[in-house]
Structure 1
Amino acid sequence: MNIKTYVSKPQLIKKNHIASASCRQNGYTLLNVLFSLSVFLLISGSLAAIFHLFLSRQQEHDGFTQQEWMISIEQMMNECKESQAVKTAEDGSVLICTNLSGQDIRFDIYHSMIRKRVDGKGHVPILDHITAMKADIENGVVLLKIESEDQKVYQTAFPVYSYLGGG
């Protein structure tokens, strides 16, 4: 065995091609770059969502966020605004809005949430993690007082247009 025989046979020495074997190119093609870029963007986009999920301030299970409070009040206010009559029942723990079709929309406490029911049917959760609700109507204004499970008291007031001659 001599050294010449090993060096003189080029078929024994093979190069690894990074690009596809059919193109016979060394290096990246535009298709490889686009694929790598799409994988990178997919991973980095997913990481941003995961970081936001884990690093953002999480609300405790014994309360609700300000955004939940505002959305629930807007829902109740819109129902009362579109109704022809608004009244309270059961010492203010139930708010009843009668719409123009004659349907009674009730906002009442069910376990630890305020739920919305139409004519005694359905169950639409409006606000969760509460312990008490007190509604009162004075001079065409609904006064709403809600206590959360962490003993914070939230209060709001909104006009009832049927009492003001608008409904």
Structure 2
Amino acid sequence: MKYVLRLMVLTIKSTQPVQVLTKRILHKDGHTFVEAIISLGVMLILASLVPLLLSPIQKHPPSIQLEETSVFLSMLGKEVREGKSVEIRNNGLYITQTTGDVLSFTKYHSLIRKQVNGLGHEVWVQNIQEMLIEKQSDTSLKVTVIDTKGKELMRVFRRLK
């Protein structure tokens, strides 16, 4: 019996901090709806200012023309590597695929276009001043693209035999 009473006293003492905490939480005055709306408005105003503060820090991307030309050269490299044979005629690049289709990449006005067997008109790059294609060896060729602003981008493609 003595141990039971002692256990009850210990249990009551150990639950006292929990009871005090629950009383504080339950009896604490909360915020009104108006205060919540005002604080939400202040947070929205501050959140809208964050991009303005970070804009001087952010790195600006290169020009879209440079990205477009870079993607063109990457895709052209894939076509050159996968092609069966490559030929340069009238400053145009003609790639014969394993299926027998001939892909042509030529400058047309201020565009570089792709045609399959001389048909179609798929624009790959815009605002181009000049496209230069040079055969460097039996397995490599150099393609230089100059945009209308005079910026030049050059790649060398090597074919595996």
TM-score by length of 1: 0.58
Aligned mates of 1:157, 1:118 — CA distance in 2: 23
Find the counterpart in structure 1 of residue 84 from structure 2.
84
Q: Which residue of 1 aligns with 2:144?
A: 145
Alignment of 1:1-167 (within 5 A): 28=33, 64-65=65-66, 67-90=67-90, 92=91, 94-139=92-137, 140-161=139-160, 165=161
Percent of matched pairs sharing the same residue: 19
Higher relative contact order (CA 8 A, sep 6+): 1
- How far the C-alpha of 1:59 sits from its partner, in A, is 7.3
Closer, same or farther: CA 123–56 of 1 in aligned 2, 3 Å: farther
Q: Please state which structure has a larger fraction of its residues in helix.
A: 2
1:137: how far off? 1.7
Question: CA offsets per residue over residues 9-66 of structure 1, 9 Å max, x none?
Answer: xxxxxxxxxxxxxxxxxx54xxx98xx89xx6xxx79x96xx98xx985877xx822x
Tell me if the contact between 2:80 and 2:157 (Cα under 8 Å) persists in the aligned partners: no
C-alpha distance in 2 between matches for 1:120 and 1:159 = 25
State the structure with more CA Rg.
Answer: 2
Deviation, 1:159, is 0.5
Give the aligned CA root-mean-square deviation in angstroms: 3.6
Amino acid at match of 1:69: T
Q: Which amino acid aligns with 2:74?
A: E
Unpaired runs of at least 5, structure 1: 1-26
Distance in 1 (CA, whole Å) between partners of 2:96 and 2:62 is: 35
CA contact (8 A) 1:86 1:160 kept: no
CA distance in 2, matches of 1:109, 1:124: 12
Deviation at 1:98, TM superposition (A): 0.5
